[in-house]
Amino acid sequence: MKTLLYEIYYQTKLYMRAKETIFWNFAFPVFMLIIFGFVFRQNKPISLKVGVVNLDQSIGSREFVKGLYRVPNFKLSEGDSAALFSRLKNRKLDYVLLFPKGFTKEIGQNRARFLIYKSDPSPIVQQIAMSIFKDVVYRANRVVTKAAEPISFKEIEIKSREKRMRYVDYFLPGLIAMIVISTGLFTIGIAITGYREKQVLRRLKVTPLPAGVFFAGQVVSRCFLVLFQALLLMFFGLVLFHTHFAGNWPVFLLVLSLGILSFVSLGFAISSFSRKTETAVMVSNAVFFPMLFLSGIFFPLSSMPKIFVTFSKIIPATYLADALRKIMVYGEGFSHVELEMGVLALWLAGSLIFSIKFFRWE
């Protein structure tokens, strides 16, 4: 145990010796969080998804709904109340408009009112939506009569099953996943290849230091460094953007540790067949950048072409980012990240088998 602790200390000190390491692994992720957080903090929605429940089904309500279809900001869908309210609670709709029976009749009595159901929209969405709704009602009233306002609406808020997520909430878990990926691929894959190229592994093999202790020191030191980086980013997210941690710490640490082990083992696999450091750098970059941009770390997969979404389902970075996001943002427990952990475990096992079979000391 004493030898292992010394090896962890030595590997950490060696890792932190280079100044560029401190910048790229600590300052650069914080810089990215600040830049992306401020840039996308106020991003406005392009359109509003609005459901329509028309219980009246008379000429007045039908004409009003036709007018809604002409509003460029609305993406309308009509249906029954149960289905649309379920979609609203799951945040698949922004609003649901309900036209009660007798709506057309009450227009003539200057008391027609439809209901607007919302589910905790963001302030910007709320501001844009209310401006559009008021304009639509105003125009409809001008068509009916110029002397009165026969049509009005009432807002009703219902509780959502899903927490509203800002971009910075989405981005922070992805940034932590990026740190895990880069640590495994670059600080392990390239470092081990460099040790082999400089004959360090060859000399190490004949020393009393057990090989298992050497590799355990590499892995554990990286685990501590990634954990520190994750806590640092979470601190800046809390201070600058008021993010919060909604999940369970043991589950978070378990997923983070499994992610580190998976990508560290992938780094070892890369070093197993890389004869030179330059080769390890090229292979690591070839693996890192597709994972970085096709795993939903920066942008939701729903905004990508289908071919990219299909590819994202086979790479481990997607499952690590999704698991961290479920825990940190939605507060999900172990039972909700079993699939993600299973995929990471499969990548861990496959990379270890490959590394053990093809690893060379010299």
Tell whether the model's pLDDT for residue 25 goes beyond 70.
no
Stronger pLDDT, 304 or 213, i.e. the higher one: 213
Binned at pLDDT 50, 70 and 90, residue 44 comes out as very low
Note the pLDDT tens digit of each residue in 66-90: 888 888 778 898 988 888 988 887 7
**Spatial CA neighbour of 344 closest among 250, 258, 251:** 258
Taking the domains of the chain in order of start, what are their residue ranges? 2-40+166-358, 48-157
| Interval 203-229 mean pLDDT | 78
Measure CA 148 to chain center. 49
Question: Which CATH number is 48-157 given?
Answer: 3.40.1710.10
Measure Cα distances from 163 to 66, 88, 289, 346 in Å: 32, 12, 30, 31
pLDDT exceeds cutoff 90 at 346: yes
Strands 112-118 and 151-157: parallel
Q: Mean pLDDT over all residues of the chain?
A: 79
Give the distance from CA 274 to its chain's centroid: 32
Cα of 257 vs its chain's centroid, Å? 18
Residue with the bigger pLDDT between 12 and 189: it is 189
pLDDT at 319: 93
Share of the chain above pLDDT 90, in %: 12
Please give the pLDDT value at position 121.
61
For 250, half-sphere exposure in the C-beta direction (CA atoms, 13 angstrom radius) is 2
Q: What share of the chain in percent tops pLDDT 70?
A: 79
Per the CB < 8 A criterion, the answer to whether 119 and 88 are in contact is yes
* pLDDT recorded at residue 341: 94
Residue 340's pLDDT is what?
92
Whether 214 shows a pLDDT value over 70: the answer reads: yes
Report the distance separating Cα 172 and Cα 305, nearest Å: 23
Instruction: Calculate mean pLDDT across residues 20-26.
Output: 56
Residue 287 burial by Cβ neighbours in a 10 Å radius (0-12, 13-18, 19+): buried
Whether 189 and 284 have beta carbons less than 8 Å apart is answered as: yes
Per residue in 121-179, pLDDT (tens digit) is 655 567 677 777 887 787 777 776 655 567 777 777 665 545 556 778 888 898 899 88
